């Protein structure tokens, strides 16, 4: 795989290259004089039709493990680091070809859940869209309440991955993507990894009546995750940036970014509520809420291209479509 391609999708950037050099040079200096490295150690797991690709310090390794058993453990980063010496190395070009042709969403048997109204921007948007239904107050209250809003989002078979289609509903006039940092929580309730999530939503159905939330949120390919599982040695940095752009006929029609530090709740708090009275034998994914909402006159159209990037994890790209009739 291209050493500078930290997204795993063939796209290398100058910044990736500088990061790579810094990692190598500074890492060497550290080996000699025991200075703490400023870069979080991390690994990436790409789920492929041919197996699992592990990317560590820009070297690719092939794993033949069963996905659910592999990821569902405490100390996932340490376990993966320990087994690396026994793994076959995959040449850069072969790894790139596998990722290009055989990339799957990084999910096995896990349910996907989502948190709502965890950012002020989301509270404001829901209050606006539900003003006519009289439900605006609900969103104000849930933002302030001790208990977070958590809702079921998807079974694994409805989930789209990087470069795959996401769907908008034919019976919805107002459709948006929701870019969300997504947690992978193991069966013990411990956050082990992160990925990029898109909580595709119908704002017209959600705004019409708050009780329509499941229809606004759950439909074929309304959840996308990818391109990989990002497994850091430490919890993800609180100032991590999240960016979204939307392209239509080769023109950019939306672009914005923010930081997950704006979130009102902590990730462990959300995971704690989800696991209070539910067991997840293979772990679960939890989308943590959106902080980027396009202006109110924006709705997605067929063939729009949605790109979501999160620092460290990479970029997930999806094409907007309708479920075939």
In the complex, least distance from residue 203 CB atom to ligand DO4, rounded to whole angstroms: 10
In the complex, least distance from residue 159 CB atom to ligand DO4, rounded to whole angstroms: 16
Peptide bond preceding 34: is omega within 30 degrees of 0, i.e. cis?
no
Q: Which is nearer to Mg ion, 178 or 208 (CB)?
A: 178
Cα–Cα separations (whole angstroms), residue 200 to 84, 166, 244, 269: 36, 8, 13, 24
Q: State the pairing for strand pair 51-56/191-199.
A: unpaired
Q: Which is nearer to Mg ion, 16 or 178 (CB)?
A: 178
- The entry of Mg ion, ligand DO4, none near residue 126 (CB within 5 to 8 angstroms by kind) is ligand DO4
224's CB contacts (< 8 A; 6+ apart) are 105, 159, 160, 161, 162, 164, 166, 197, 198, 200, 316, 318
Question: By Cβ distance, which residue is nearest to ligand DO4?
Answer: 116
Distance CA(227)–CA(197), nearest Å, equals 9
Q: Which is nearer to ligand DO4, 95 or 260 (CB)?
A: 260
In the complex, least distance from residue 211 CB atom to ligand DO4, rounded to whole angstroms: 12
- The entry of ligand DO4, Mg ion, none near residue 7 (CB within 5 to 8 angstroms by kind) is none
Question: By Cβ distance, which residue is nearest to Mg ion?
Answer: 199
- The entry of ligand DO4, Mg ion, none near residue 117 (CB within 5 to 8 angstroms by kind) is ligand DO4
In the complex, least distance from residue 115 CB atom to Mg ion, rounded to whole angstroms: 8
In the complex, least distance from residue 290 CB atom to ligand DO4, rounded to whole angstroms: 4
- Give the interface with Mg ion as residue ranges (CB under 5 A): 178, 199, 290
- The entry of Mg ion, ligand DO4, none near residue 162 (CB within 5 to 8 angstroms by kind) is none
What are the structure tokens assigned to 184, written together? 């992978």
- The entry of ligand DO4, Mg ion, none near residue 149 (CB within 5 to 8 angstroms by kind) is ligand DO4
CB 72 within 8 A of CB 282: yes
211's CB contacts (< 8 A; 6+ apart) are none
User: Which residues are 193's β-sheet partners?
Assistant: 184
User: Which residues are 285's β-sheet partners?
Assistant: 112, 184
- Give the interface with ligand DO4 as residue ranges (CB under 6 A): 114, 116-117, 122, 126, 149, 178, 199, 213, 289-290
Q: Which is nearer to Mg ion, 8 or 207 (CB)?
A: 207
What are the structure tokens assigned to 127, written together? 């209050």
Strand locations in 4-50 (E): 42-48
In the complex, least distance from residue 289 CB atom to ligand DO4, rounded to whole angstroms: 4
Distance CA(245)–CA(223), nearest Å, equals 17
Q: Which is nearer to Mg ion, 179 or 232 (CB)?
A: 179
Tell me how crowded residue 293 is: count the other CB atoms within 10 A of its CB.
23
In the complex, least distance from residue 116 CB atom to Mg ion, rounded to whole angstroms: 6
Distance CA(284)–CA(132), nearest Å, equals 35
Q: Which is nearer to ligand DO4, 54 or 117 (CB)?
A: 117
- The entry of ligand DO4, Mg ion, none near residue 223 (CB within 5 to 8 angstroms by kind) is none
Q: What is the DSSP string of 178-203?
A: -EEEEEEE-TTS-EEEEEEEEE-EEH
Q: Which is nearer to Mg ion, 9 or 178 (CB)?
A: 178
């Amino acid at each position: 795989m291209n050493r500078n391609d930290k997204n795993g999708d063939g796209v290398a950037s100058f910044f990736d290259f500088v990061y790579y050099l810094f990692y190598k040079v500074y890492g060497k200096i550290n080996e000699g004089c025991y200075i703490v490295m400023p870069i979080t150690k991390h690994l990436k797991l790409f789920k492929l039709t041919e197996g699992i690709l592990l990317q560590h310090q820009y070297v690719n390794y092939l794993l033949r493990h069963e996905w659910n058993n592999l990821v569902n453990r405490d100390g996932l980063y340490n376990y993966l680091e320990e087994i690396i010496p026994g793994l076959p190395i995959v040449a850069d070009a072969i790894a790139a070809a596998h990722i290009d042709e055989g990339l799957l969403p990084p999910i096995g048997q896990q349910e996907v859940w989502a948190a709502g109204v965890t950012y002020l921007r989301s509270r404001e948007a829901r209050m606006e869209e539900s003003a006519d239904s009289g439900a605006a107050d609900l969103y104000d209250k849930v933002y302030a309440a001790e208990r977070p809003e958590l809702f079921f989002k998807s079974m694994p078979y409805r989930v789209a991955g990087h470069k795959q289609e996401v769907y908008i509903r034919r019976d919805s006039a107002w459709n948006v993507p929701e870019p969300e940092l997504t947690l992978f929580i193991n069966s013990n309730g411990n956050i082990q990894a992160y990925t990029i999530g898109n909580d595709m939503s119908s704002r017209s159905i959600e705004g019409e009546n708050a009780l329509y939330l499941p229809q606004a949120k759950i439909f074929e390919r309304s959840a996308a995750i990818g391109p990989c599982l990002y497994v850091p040695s430490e919890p993800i940095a609180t100032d991590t940036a999240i960016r979204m752009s939307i392209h239509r006929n080769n023109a950019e029609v939306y672009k914005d970014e923010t930081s997950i530090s704006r979130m009102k709740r902590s990730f462990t708090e959300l995971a704690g509520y989800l696991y209070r009275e539910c067991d997840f034998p293979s772990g679960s994914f939890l989308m943590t809420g959106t902080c980027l909402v396009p202006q109110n006159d924006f709705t997605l159209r067929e063939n729009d291209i949605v790109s979501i990037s999160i620092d460290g994890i990479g970029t997930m790209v999806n094409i907007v479509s309708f479920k075939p009739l």
